[in-house]
């Protein structure tokens, strides 16, 4: 992990889209992260950590989108 993003503690789950949403700071800019899941998962510290790792791994291989929105899938 390269710690290039600072995550906010504002994670919420949207039942309709089965998506966890949270925000972070990346190079001083606010980004919105959406992580879609096949089924609702129990939101706990371990899951938050897994989501954060998932985002950091994605950022190591991809450029941040100009619109400030990152959408990933988690199984």
Q: Where are the domains of the chain?
A: 5-74
Which residues make beta-bridge pairs with 37? 74
pLDDT for res 75: 83
Is the Cβ–Cβ distance between 74 and 54 less than 8 Å? yes
d(CA 8, CA 6): 7
**d(C-alpha 38, C-alpha 12), whole Å:** 16
CA 19, chain centre distance (Å) = 10
3-state secondary structure of 21: strand
CATH, domain range 5-74: 3.30.160.140
The pLDDT of residue 3: 53
User: Tens-of-pLDDT digits for all 75 residues of the chain?
Assistant: 445 899 999 999 998 999 999 999 998 999 999 999 988 899 999 999 999 999 999 999 999 899 999 999 998
Whether 47 and 63 have beta carbons less than 8 Å apart is answered as: no
């Amino acid at each position: 992990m390269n710690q290039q993003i600072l995550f906010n503690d504002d994670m919420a789950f949207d039942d309709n889209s089965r998506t966890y949403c949270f925000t972070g700071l990346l190079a001083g800019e606010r980004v919105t992260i959406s992580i879609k899941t096949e089924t609702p998962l129990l939101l706990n510290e371990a899951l938050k950590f897994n989501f954060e790792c998932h985002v950091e791994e994605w950022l190591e291989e991809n450029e941040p989108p100009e619109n400030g929105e990152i959408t990933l899938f988690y199984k």
